[in-house]
Amino acid sequence: MGQPRQKTVAVVGTGLTGLVTAHLLHQDVQQRYAVKVLERKEECSLSAESIALPVSKDGATKSEWADVPMRAFAGGFYRNLVRLYDYLGVQYHSQQFVFSFSRLTSTASVPYMAHASNFHALPPVPHNVDFFAWLLEALYAIFFNIWFTLCVYYLSPVEHSSTRPAERFGDYLQRGFLPQYYVSHYLLPLMSSVCTCSHQELLDFPASDVLQYKRRTHGQPHYVVDSGVRTVQDRLSRGLDISFGVSLSRVLPKSDGVEVHYTNAAGITSVESFDLVVLAISPDVVAAVFEPLKDKMERIPTTVVDTVAHNDTKTLPILSSGERPEQRQSIHFRSSKDGTEAIHEQSLSSFIVTTNPLTPIDSSSVLKSATFTRVLRSPESRRIVNDIFAEDSANQDGTDEKSTRLWRNGDDGIYLAGGWCWDGMVLLEGCVVSAMRVASDLDVAIPWM
Confidence bin at 111 (pLDDT 50/70/90): confident
Q: Which helix (H) or strand (E) holds 61?
A: strand 60-66
pLDDT of the residue at 403: 41
* Axis-axis angle for helices 207-217, 131-154 (nearest 10): 110
| Strands, E assignment, 300-339 | 302-310, 330-335
Average pLDDT on 86-108 reads: 86
pLDDT of the residue at 321: 47
Query: For residues 105 and 196, which has the higher predicted lDDT (pLDDT)?
Result: 196
In eight-state DSSP terms, residue 365 is G
Output 54-63 pairs: Cβ under 8 A, ≥24 positions apart: 54/349, 55/348, 55/349, 56/348, 57/348
pLDDT of the residue at 115: 82
Sheet holding 352-355, edge to edge: 113-116, 98-103, 330-335, 340-345, 352-355, 302-310, 366-375
pLDDT in tens, 244-281: 999 999 999 999 999 999 999 899 999 999 999 999 99
Is the pLDDT at 325 greater than 60? The verdict is: no
Length of the chain: 449
pLDDT of the residue at 163: 78
Is the pLDDT at 393 greater than 60? The verdict is: no
Average pLDDT on 210-215 reads: 97
Task: Please tell me the distance from the alpha carbon of residue 24 to that of residue 425, in angstroms, as a whole number.
Answer: 23
Query: For residues 428 and 346, which has the higher predicted lDDT (pLDDT)?
Result: 428
Q: Which helix (H) or strand (E) holds 313?
A: none
pLDDT of the residue at 54: 67
Is the pLDDT at 367 greater than 70? The verdict is: yes
Query: For residues 320 and 238, which has the higher predicted lDDT (pLDDT)?
Result: 238
Task: Please tell me the distance from the alpha carbon of residue 279 to that of residue 276, in angstroms, as a whole number.
Answer: 10
Task: Please tell me the distance from the alpha carbon of residue 445 to that of residue 449, in angstroms, as a whole number.
Answer: 8
Closest by Cα among 273, 270, 268, 293 to 281: 293
What number of other Cβ atoms are within 10 A of residue 407's Cβ? 16
- Tell me which amino acid residue 442 is: L
Task: Please tell me the distance from the alpha carbon of residue 363 to that of residue 182, in angstroms, as a whole number.
Answer: 34
**Range in 110-119, 165-174, 193-202, 285-294 with the lowest mean pLDDT:** 110-119
What number of other Cβ atoms are within 10 A of residue 88's Cβ? 18
Q: Are 274 and 260 in contact (CB under 8 A)?
A: yes
pLDDT of the residue at 319: 66
Average pLDDT on 18-44 reads: 97
CA–CA distances in Å: residue 285 to residues 134, 242, 431: 47, 19, 17
Dihedral sign computed on CA atoms, order 166, 169, 174, 175: positive
Segments making up each domain of the chain, as ranges: 7-48+228-299+377-441, 97-220+302-375
Is the pLDDT at 1 greater than 60? The verdict is: no
pLDDT of the residue at 125: 75
pLDDT of the residue at 176: 98
Q: Please give the share of the chain, as a percent, with pLDDT higher than 90.
A: 70
pLDDT in tens, 65-82: 778 788 889 989 999 999
Helices (H) and strands (E) in the chain, counts: 13, 20
pLDDT of the residue at 421: 98
Is the pLDDT at 439 greater than 80? The verdict is: yes
Pair type for strands 60-66 and 269-274? unpaired
Task: Please tell me the distance from the alpha carbon of residue 178 to that of residue 148, in angstroms, as a whole number.
Answer: 7
**Range in 82-86, 347-351, 428-432 with the lowest mean pLDDT:** 347-351
In eight-state DSSP terms, residue 327 is G
Fold held by 7-48+228-299+377-441? FAD/NAD(P)-binding domain (3.50.50)
Q: What is the DSSP annotation of 157-221?
A: PPPP-SSSPPPBHHHHHHHTT--HHHIIIIIHHHHHHHHTS-HHHHHTSBHHHHHHHHHHHTTPP
pLDDT in tens, 117-164: 766 566 677 777 788 988 999 999 999 999 999 999 999 999 988 778
| Category of 393 on φ-ψ map: left (φ > 0), alpha (ψ -120 to 50) or beta | alpha
Please provide the average confidence, as pLDDT, over all residues in the chain.
Answer: 89
Task: Please tell me the distance from the alpha carbon of residue 315 to that of residue 299, in angstroms, as a whole number.
Answer: 37
pLDDT of the residue at 315: 85
**Range in 208-222, 323-337, 342-356 with the lowest mean pLDDT:** 323-337
Dihedral sign computed on CA atoms, order 39, 228, 361, 186: positive
Task: Please tell me the distance from the alpha carbon of residue 428 to that of residue 77, in angstroms, as a whole number.
Answer: 10
Confidence bin at 60 (pLDDT 50/70/90): low
pTM for this one? 0.92
Is the pLDDT at 327 greater than 50? The verdict is: no
